[in-house]
Structure 1
């Protein structure tokens, strides 16, 4: 049982953004997770957000060599630390896929790019399996990964009276993904990413995060990896499109408060979700 003192009552949910540099060394990455949880606990955060592929990453591409099951060491550590600190967590990982074969004639095995959500009691709330694979800008994620089902229920996590909806990385380019989790009640969009670096990419990342916030009248917590081949530049955007936190390319851990009262005021002033005329329907 956690002996963590109860945080003071406040009109906001405190979120720690962990823009870490992830390597291929899974044990070293777990140490980064422990350190991030320690920081989150020290500042009395309610939620810790780690980037995409936080369990293991290779800039040239992540595949089955980095896959761990949901009961493996990475997710087990997330659950242990959440239970010990009372801090909920959203983090990217890589799961084993359903494809079979040895690559010698049959189907080559592939992994799954996933984001897991764990509540402050250490319970695994769910795993979102990335729907939009990054087959763009010269990358081919689908060579190593299989997509998640487009019609899977959205992954949402309730923390401190707010509902957080999960996307990851390339999903940010598809407004339907964000709208679908908002339809599931999300007031905050959480976007762990390993956003590939390159011409205009940092500008796209920032612009899309702000757009998703404005069009959904939702806060956006977009957490990128730092390091070689990725952009970093994590940011937290209010539902009015105002950027409240923005990091550079270097590893950093920062904490912000997401104001539920502001969310309510913005949605009252700008009732665009009520005024919409189209629904989002998953396509096979």
Structure 2
């Protein structure tokens, strides 16, 4: 299964971000990828008012991402914001492609490290798995990666590949935590983890927001054995890599943590 992790640096401009998506989808399709993954907050970067930017899943922004995916003949995931009745938004991962449009609303909200996502974002409550031609894929967003129960639930529902889209907060030790958590969740669920984050704004001469997580880069692919398979650096780039979903079944036979769990 060939996948593309499209590490971008989103801006507050929805149209400019669609251009970044178009470029990443084009590179993914030219490389023969089945799945192109964009980070959390692809629609608009954190650090701006989200409610005025939010659009429904059948709105113009998601529609254009869907058109790009359909024209390329691949599945695309991209982080966006959808409106809620109480004036907040949901932190939504759009999953779209030929004849397909689904959503995963972030379950675990980032009320940590002095940031309170729940003030402006409503939590989701439904895990999502989808069958793609080469594998069943589970979907998670950023802070979700700190909660192994979501990953084991997705594995129990048949996922052998886990997508994590993030806009990781910068700070001391945060890259180490990002890599450690991706490797740990791969081991917990004996699954591939495809962790795609926002690029570090500083890598392109842009000052990050002091009040919001705007990315550190280092999008990472981890095997079901917890080994880093491939990784980007801090700047925007597209990582094209091949994974073998069947290795998850091999790992589950050799390391049957899912079968042996008591709690």
Provide Cα deviations, 1:242-270, integer angstroms capped at 9, x if missing partner. 10111121111011111023222212211
- Work out whether 1:64 is the aligned partner of 2:51: yes
Aligned mates of 1:274, 1:207 — CA distance in 2: 23
- Work out whether 1:19 is the aligned partner of 2:4: no
Partner of 2:124: 148
Provide Cα deviations, 1:126-148, integer angstroms capped at 9, x if missing partner. 21111111111011111211111
- Say if 1:62 and 1:128 are closer, same or farther in 2 by CA, change over 3 A: farther
Aligned mates of 2:171, 2:155 — CA distance in 1: 30
| TM-score, normalised relative to structure 1 | 0.85
Task: Work out the number of aligned pairs and report it.
Answer: 251
Contact 1:88 1:122 in 2 (8 A): no
Partner of 1:93: 80
Partner of 2:211: none
| TM-score, normalised relative to structure 2 | 0.92
Provide the alpha-carbon RMSD of the alignment: 1.3
Shift of 1:221: 0.2
Partner of 2:92: 114
Aligned mates of 2:262, 2:77 — CA distance in 1: 32
- Work out whether 1:218 is the aligned partner of 2:191: yes
Match of 2:104 among 117, 125, 128: 128
Superposed, 1:167-186 pairs within 5 Å as 167-186=140-159
Q: Which moved more, 1:63-72 or 1:164-173?
A: 63-72
Q: Which has the larger radius of gyration?
A: 1
Shift of 1:62: 5.1
Aligned mates of 1:276, 1:173 — CA distance in 2: 18
Partner of 1:8: none
Match of 2:227 among 242, 251, 257: 242
Shift of 1:209: 0.3
Aligned mates of 2:49, 2:129 — CA distance in 1: 25
Shift of 1:65: 2.3
Contact 1:79 1:122 in 2 (8 A): no
Aligned mates of 2:107, 2:10 — CA distance in 1: 22
Gaps (5+ residues) in structure 2? 202-207, 209-213
Contact 1:188 1:221 in 2 (8 A): yes
Aligned mates of 1:167, 1:28 — CA distance in 2: 25
Partner of 2:41: 53
